[in-house]
Amino acid sequence: CRRPLRRRDATTGEPARATWWKPSAKWGRWVLEQVRPELQRFYPPEPDGGSVVAYLWAKTVHCTNPACGAEIPLLAHRWLSHRAGKTPVYYRLLPQADRSLDAQVVEGVPRGENPSEGTTARGTARCLHCPQTLSSDEVKAQFKATQDGRLMLAVALIRLTDRRVSFRAVTETDRATYEQARNALDEAGLLPMMTRS
């Protein structure tokens, strides 16, 4: 089996570097500048001047235990960043008395917990408030009946000081900002029908 020959740069004779992404990156920057004035209110600046770049979500189903009914986020793992040579970042899910969950962002090596473990395995969903585990058929049934939901878990941002991505816990301001964005999409007729409720 012969390996294909690598193209060479016509002027230097060196192997050609992949540059296919450059026009895409240029186009992406142009699109961002066009929509930034409209979207900026949904990505408010951080107190330190950093910028919110993403809201991280999980799809959810409800526990079928009649005594519980809590929202179960469908998670394969809880890592936010787990790259070699970098400080690991994950979130811890804290069950609350009202059957809700708070997500606490943790930086550093996990001690006494395994962020590689989520709430799902082979299509099942494990409740964090009670010992109930939903079968894959029960999970699918909730999606078919559009009884699924969404849970905001964390916020990704770019720090102004070093231009690196970091993560923080969700605040009430983030939830209010999401509601503003949702209402704006609904008013513009852009909200998918299945998420209107």
Question: For every one of its 197 residues, what pLDDT tens digit does the chain have, with 9 covering 90 and above?
Answer: 566 656 666 666 666 666 777 888 888 889 989 988 888 888 888 888 888 999 999 999 999 999 999 999 999 999 999 999 999 999 999 999 999 999 999 999 999 999 999 999 999 999 999 999 999 999 999 999 999 999 999 999 998 788 889 999 999 999 999 999 999 999 988 877 545 44
Instruction: Supply the pLDDT for residue 21.
Output: 73
| The 165-168 sheet, strands edge to edge | 71-73, 51-62, 149-158, 165-168
- 73: which residues sit within 8 A by CB, 6+ positions away? 58, 59, 60, 93, 101, 119, 151, 153
Q: DSSP class of residue 30?
A: H
Exposed / middle / buried, residue 80 (Cβ in 10 Å: 0-12, 13-18, 19+): buried
This prediction's pTM: 0.79
Instruction: Determine how many CB atoms are found less than 10 A away from the CB of residue 71.
Output: 19
Whole-number pLDDT of residue 32: 85
Kindly report the number of other CB atoms within 10 A of residue 180's CB atom: 12
